[in-house]
């Protein structure tokens, strides 16, 4: 998208979201809660690898990529939640990011959640896989450790600067807004036996695939707003779709969800808007997106319209209690993953980059499981609202399952947390094969383990 079209998009609006009133004196919060939003730039430097190193590296910036989050104070030790415009943060990098948040906020890593939005023209932060490709000497970078360290420094500085500016939380709001013609199921083209014949990706140029049914999606965008008096201090938006209109051209961008978020931010500079990608492992815009550059601002406006609809439906109420819960899981690898075989693939210089870098991610997962380093799931419950943080590219069915498990409470789910396992299908989908199953690092039993974890967080 050219500079003029981006500017026109950011300026085009039917009006503000009307989430805020006229700011007055800072109110007192009977709940004792306060909130401190923070943000900083995470746009990778020129030459940095994108999406694991097998697409074109960064050569230009269309719009900045950001990490945006908040520190919640007054519910025991501080709670920190952050969304990052990267493809993923995995394994030891995910632990390091949460540890840095904890150090800056004076809390523990278990009370910190970092989720990625999952844009592809961005870093796929796995320091463990980076070590494996470094040993080869001829492979493109996955995550440059020096740049990752810079981002951790920015993270600590942003949180440290934000906490003294915390304001009381007096109310919380929840709202639903339907998003039209964005999400569609990727796994829609099946044979008579139910096996996947072809995938409808983030962009789809095949008219036959685009003409197929939308399939199972969650059409609702969920917004949760934290208020200080009449002012919405932080608004979190949750929607399940792969967030790419097009990619692979080496141009860093927050893509269509990020542009929608930035439009909201421009309209309401006094409110921090944060976008979380839901359980979109099997969900993309492929039915509605042909991959042309013209579609990026169109998809962004559709997300923006969904945010406006959610804002119009916000139900605001005084804050009661706030409870943070965690659960640990350590899903076992697929039975066919073998460390020696993966090491041989990484070392095979006759293979394409993707055929060498991707096995590095798989081997990193095997090594993590061997070291018994669990994935931490978490939830933040405020009144009847539950903010759920899940790992990897979880399938949509987990998000829908969470809504049922919560017994009528309002659930907003963010996936793309710890990305170590990559795709996390539901167990019924493993026999159907297809791309997503082929790059699911865990055995089908991950379904039962993840569901048990969710039950503990939602009850």
Strands (E), 2-161: 34-41, 60-61, 66-73, 79-84, 88-89, 112-116, 124-125
**How far is the C-alpha of 259 from the C-alpha of 241, rounded, in Å?**
15
> Quick count: other Cβ atoms within 10 Å of Cβ 122?
29
- What average pLDDT score do residues 130-153 get? 97
Q: Which residues of 198-237 are buried (b: 16+ CB within 10 A; e: fewer)?
A: bbbbbbbeeeebbebeebbbbbbbbbbbbbbbebbbbbbb
- pLDDT tens, 261-311? 999 999 999 999 999 999 999 999 999 999 999 999 999 999 999 999 999
**How far is the C-alpha of 59 from the C-alpha of 280, rounded, in Å?**
28
Please give the structure tokens belonging to residue 409.
Answer: 């409470």
In the predicted structure, residue 245 carries a pLDDT above the cut 90: yes
In the predicted structure, residue 9 carries a pLDDT above the cut 80: no
- pLDDT tens, 168-181? 999 999 999 999 99
> Which residue ranges make up each domain of the chain?
9-20+30-332+371-458
* pLDDT class of 26 with cuts at 50, 70, 90: very low
Please give the structure tokens belonging to residue 408.
Answer: 């009528």
Structure-token match 């005084």, residue found = 318
**How far is the C-alpha of 227 from the C-alpha of 82, rounded, in Å?**
18
Handedness of CA 401, 85, 210, 430 (dihedral sign): negative
**How far is the C-alpha of 349 from the C-alpha of 136, rounded, in Å?**
9
Q: Check residue 321 and give its pLDDT.
A: 86
Q: Check residue 16 and give its pLDDT.
A: 53
Q: Check residue 119 and give its pLDDT.
A: 98
**How far is the C-alpha of 291 from the C-alpha of 202, rounded, in Å?**
8
In the predicted structure, residue 7 carries a pLDDT above the cut 70: no
- pLDDT tens, 74-95? 999 999 999 999 999 999 999 9
Q: For the chain, what percent of residues have pLDDT higher than 70?
A: 93
In the predicted structure, residue 225 carries a pLDDT above the cut 60: yes
Q: H or E element: which one contains 410?
A: strand 410-414
- What average pLDDT score do residues 22-46 get? 77
In the predicted structure, residue 259 carries a pLDDT above the cut 90: yes
Residue 380, sorted as left (phi over 0), alpha (psi -120 to 50) or beta, turns out to be beta
Mean pLDDT of the chain: 94
- What average pLDDT score do residues 36-49 get? 98
What's the burial of 83, exposed, middle or buried (CB within 10 Å: 0-12/13-18/19+)? buried
20 alpha carbon, distance to own chain's centre: 26
């Amino acid at each position: 998208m050219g500079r003029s079209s981006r500017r026109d998009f950011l300026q085009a609006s039917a009006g503000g979201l009307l989430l805020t009133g006229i700011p007055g004196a800072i109110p007192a919060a009977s709940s004792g809660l306060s909130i401190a939003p923070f943000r900083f730039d995470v746009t990778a430097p020129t030459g940095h690898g994108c999406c694991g190193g097998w697409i074109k590296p960064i050569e230009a910036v269309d719009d900045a990529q950001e990490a945006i989050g908040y520190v919640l104070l007054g519910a025991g030790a501080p709670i920190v939640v952050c969304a990052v415009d990267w493809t993923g943060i995995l394994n030891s990098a995910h632990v390091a990011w949460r540890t840095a948040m904890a150090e800056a906020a004076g809390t523990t890593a278990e009370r910190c959640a970092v989720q990625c939005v999952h844009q592809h023209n961005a870093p796929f932060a796995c320091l463990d896989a980076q070590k494996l490709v470094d040993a080869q000497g001829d492979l493109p970078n996955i995550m440059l450790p020096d740049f990752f360290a810079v981002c951790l420094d920015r993270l600590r500085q942003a949180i440290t600067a934000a906490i003294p500016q915390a304001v009381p939380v007096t109310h919380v709001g929840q709202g639903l807004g339907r998003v039209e013609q964005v999400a569609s199921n990727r796994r829609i083209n099946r044979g008579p036996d139910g096996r996947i014949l072809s995938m409808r990706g983030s962009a789809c140029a095949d008219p036959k695939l685009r003409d197929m049914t939308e399939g199972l999606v969650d059409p609702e965008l969920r917004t949760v707003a934290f208020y200080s008096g009449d002012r919405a201090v932080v608004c979190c938006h949750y929607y399940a779709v792969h967030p790419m209109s097009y990619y692979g051209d080496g141009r860093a961008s927050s893509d269509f969800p990020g542009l929608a978020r930035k439009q909201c931010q421009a309209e309401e500079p006094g409110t921090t808007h944060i976008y979380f990608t839901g359980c979109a492992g099997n969900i993309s815009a492929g039915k509605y997106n042909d991959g042309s550059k013209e579609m990026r601002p169109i998809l962004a406006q559709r997300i923006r319209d969904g945010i406006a609809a959610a804002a119009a439906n916000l139900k605001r109420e005084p804050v009661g209690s706030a409870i943070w819960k965690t659960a640990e899981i350590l899903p076992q690898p697929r039975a066919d993953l073998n460390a020696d075989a993966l090491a041989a693939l990484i070392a095979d210089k006759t293979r394409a980059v993707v055929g060498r870098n991707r096995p590095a991610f798989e081997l990193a997962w095997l090594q993590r499981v061997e070291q018994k380093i669990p994935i931490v799931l978490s939830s933040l419950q405020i009144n009847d609202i539950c903010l759920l943080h899940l790992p990897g590219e979880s399938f949509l069915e987990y998000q829908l399952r969470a809504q049922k498990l919560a017994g009528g409470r309002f659930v907003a789910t963010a996936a793309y947390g710890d990305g170590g396992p990559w795709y996390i299908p539901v167990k019924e989908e493993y026999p159907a094969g297809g791309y997503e199953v082929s790059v699911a690092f865990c055995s089908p039993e991950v379904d039962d383990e993840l569901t048990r974890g969710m039950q503990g967080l939602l009850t």
